[in-house]
């Protein structure tokens, strides 16, 4: 019989930002199924309560916790990380999944909105990753960081200049952090979603023409689902990926493989 214990996250702890919905919740579900205890963050208490109930239904009452945070307030992130680490008894795995967007033609983009998107999508993951790495290095412990990239890390569409800039930055940040922290056995990888059925994409899903275009353009002929991220996240966080760092795995239904 094959030994799949290398994929186990039993005894591990994970902090998943944006873990109360969408891709973040899909990743948190995968972690709980693999045996980890997770702490999810998000601003919406109602969504977070529903996510906690779902995670605890899988892994039991101790499987999941929630902390509220506003990642746009980057000055508050070190205190947030310290609280999360205290609640979990240390953080073995960090997933930077929270993200926002603002749609506007580039010449009409309010600078404040552009800066807010970059602050949440790029600066906040950088600060959280710093906090995580400092704690792991000080303790002499390995770690795994996962950042969420995008198809917009490789290309762009109209009205997405802020989001595209943030996700292009994530692609390079994965590489930069992987190189800096490899000597400490802290692995840094990314996951690049295609078009996924999440609340952020609701306006696109509700557009019949766009919905049909996504299905035509994607070789697997459908939108992705949050549960499509369970396996790849568990792989990247586990010892099965112990020699994998600085990589982005695209979960896009074949989108980038064709034109």
| Active-site annotation holds for 163 | yes
Smallest Cα–Cα separation from 26: which of 253, 226, 252? 226
Q: Is 124 helix (H, G, I), strand (E, B) or coil?
A: helix
Task: Read off the tokens for 160.
Answer: 């997405």
d(CA 74, CA 76): 5
d(CA 4, CA 239): 11
161 contacts: CB under 8 Å, gap ≥ 6:
104, 106, 109, 114
d(CA 12, CA 24): 17
6 contacts: CB under 8 Å, gap ≥ 6:
238, 239, 240
> In which element (H, E) is residue 234 found?
helix 230-237
> In which element (H, E) is residue 66 found?
strand 64-68
d(CA 226, CA 47): 15
Which of 102, 114, 126, 163 is catalytic? The answer is 163
List the catalytic residues.
163
């Amino acid at each position: 019989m094959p030994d799949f214990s290398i994929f186990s996250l039993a005894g591990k702890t994970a902090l998943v930002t944006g873990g109360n919905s969408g891709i973040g919740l899909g990743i948190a579900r995968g972690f709980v199924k693999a045996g980890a205890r997770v702490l999810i963050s998000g601003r919406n208490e109602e969504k977070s309560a529903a996510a906690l109930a779902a995670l605890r239904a899988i892994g039991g009452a101790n499987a999941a916790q929630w902390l509220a945070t506003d990642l746009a307030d980057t000055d508050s992130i070190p205190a947030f990380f310290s609280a999360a680490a205290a609640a979990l008894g240390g953080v073995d795995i960090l997933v930077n999944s929270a993200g926002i967007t603002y749609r506007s033609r580039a010449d009409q983009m309010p600078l404040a909105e552009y800066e807010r998107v970059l602050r949440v999508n790029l600066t906040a993951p950088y600060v959280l990753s710093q906090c995580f790495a400092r704690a792991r290095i000080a303790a002499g412990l390995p770690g795994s960081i996962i950042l969420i990239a995008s198809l917009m890390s490789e290309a762009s569409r109209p009205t997405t200049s802020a989001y595209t800039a943030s996700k292009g930055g994530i692609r390079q940040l994965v590489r930069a952090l992987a190189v800096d922290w490899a000597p400490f056995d802290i692995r840094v990888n990314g996951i690049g979603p295609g078009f996924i059925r999440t609340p952020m994409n609701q306006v696109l899903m509700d557009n019949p023409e766009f919905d049909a275009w996504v299905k035509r353009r994607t070789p697997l002929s459908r939108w992705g689902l949050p549960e499509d991220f369970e396996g790849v996240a568990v792989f990247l966080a586990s010892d099965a990926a112990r020699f994998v760092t600085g990589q982005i795995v695209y979960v896009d239904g074949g989108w980038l493989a064709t034109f």
